[in-house]
Amino acid sequence: MFATLLKQMFGECEREYRFHPIRRFRFDYAIPSKKIAIEQEGGAWTGGRHTRPKGYISDMEKYNLAVSMGWRVLRFTPDQMMKTETINLIKKVYDN
């Protein structure tokens, strides 16, 4: 549903987008023409992979590599994904 919304708004949205030619890092959602990455960060309240040391460090490596390649990375919890504030922020980044 989220990917469909982004496609309607911006004309493109790739799921599980592999942004690096060698590393296997993927973005949950991406608008490649604008180098906008959207990550859904699960486990914030349940101690999921993203909040454990190894997962946290791997995410930092991924995000830093993405930024060094010119990507803008937006991170949201699952509950935030379809909120008006989230969509407005993505639109603001897209328009800049």
Q: What is the pLDDT of residues 74-91, one digit of tens each?
A: 999 999 999 999 999 999
Task: Give me the pLDDT at residue 49, please.
Answer: 59
Beta-carbon contacts of 38 under 8 Å, excluding residues fewer than 6 positions away, are 6, 27, 28, 29, 30, 31, 74, 76, 90
Task: Give me the pLDDT at residue 81, please.
Answer: 95
Cα 96 to the center of its chain, rounded Å: 17
- Spatial contact of 51 and 43, defined as CB atoms under 8 Å apart: yes
Domain containing residue 91? 2-95
Question: CATH code at 45?
Answer: 3.40.960.10
Q: How many domains does the chain have?
A: 1
Q: What is the pLDDT of residues 12-63, one digit of tens each?
A: 999 999 999 999 999 999 999 999 999 998 765 555 555 667 878 999 999 9
Please tell me the distance from the alpha carbon of residue 63 to that of residue 41, in angstroms, as a whole number: 12
Q: Which residues pair with 73 in a beta bridge?
A: 37
